[in-house]
Structure 1
Amino acid sequence: MRIDPSKLSRPISMAYRLWCRSLRFQDVGQEHLDCAAAQGRRLIYAIWHDELFPLVWYATRKGLTVGAMVSQSRDGELLAGIIESLGIPTIRGSSSRGGVKALVSAIRLIERQGHDIVITVDGPRGPRHIVKEGAIHLASRTGAHIMPVRVSMKRAHIFHKAWDKFQLPWPLTRCRVVFGEPYAVSRSLDEAGIAQERSQLEKRLEALDAELSGLTQSQEPSC
């Protein structure tokens, strides 16, 4: 017998809040957020699907005005309930289902309501750490800058059988969140241009690996 995801959202949301409150966060790249805010830029936070768990909570902890794109699957319905319980509006749709409608809704959220958007750029079904087109199209249509964001969890359970190798941080563990430098994409892109932008975003996300380990320091941005 299938359980209605809407009936699970409330108890799981409560457990999620308690879990995340135990996590200890450190962030790197706050200057990039400050610079974007000073210039009045809207941002598209590009994250990997397996690093989603602590980042949704962290967005609310930072007081970021964001909306989140969530798939129309049953799992997405449960996730949407949890995210909305944190006061974050959701946009239902993905590259595999409801993509055009979701893109239109995201554009409205950015342009009319002044929200930034969080997108798992390799979701909802992968392949893992391969950027899809959604964030690129959204940035091109709105002029919002893409900000790569990564998180490392000092201790986490990895679901190796899941397509994304989803990471579940242990309670009380330390999470290091890295904000990369935001950048713009062209307002006019053909298929080759989209492919190039996807590859660039993958490289920018991968380039944050050293900062996740604390091996490098962010450069002061020139606002």
Structure 2
Amino acid sequence: MKRITLAITGASGTQYALRLLDCLIQEQREVHFLISKAAQLVLATETDLALPGKPQAMQTFLTEYTGAQPGQIRVFGKEDWLAPPASGSSTPAAMVVVPCSTGTLSAIACGACNNLIERAADVALKERRPLILVPREAPYSSIHLENMLRLSNLGAIILPASPGFYHQPKTIDDLIDFIVARILNLLNIPQDILPCWGEYHQTGDED
């Protein structure tokens, strides 16, 4: 799928979203970018990036920041109900919510549709389109786990922001890349930032 809807909500881990956005742009994907107010606050706290508040200004900023082609990134406001992600009649697209707050997880699980992020996820579920949710919370309550199970049963993919260490990470960027590579694999988008398991495994001669 050439078009990806990328949503950022107010959990820690906005670096995952920024790295994923960069990878999607490099792979010539069209990105529909959605971000909550809480996510903008978290992003400003976790990074040196200060996004403009208005969708059009944010779109211009992200286009320049990522080196995207004109129109490759489209930013939509939280109540832009005429945006393509708001309707199942638009061109099919996969959707990734990264990071996915537990509040957003709950809203998607019950079909709240109170803003464009929730509505876009609801569309992905009802149209049976790929929906990847990347929660970042610790510990999980029973409510969180029940919501994840419900969404998994509905067809969403739950990919917790829990990086592995078998690739022997040396930096924080290596840990970020682990999760981003898993997302790209699930989207069937080529990536070379993390080797697949066993790709470089060498078997020795048995005695």
TM-score range, shorter chain: 0.3 to 0.5
What TM-score results when the alignment is normalised by the length of structure 2?
A: 0.41
What TM-score results when the alignment is normalised by the length of structure 1?
A: 0.38
Higher relative contact order, structure no. (Cα contacts within 8 Å, ≥ 6 residues apart)? 1
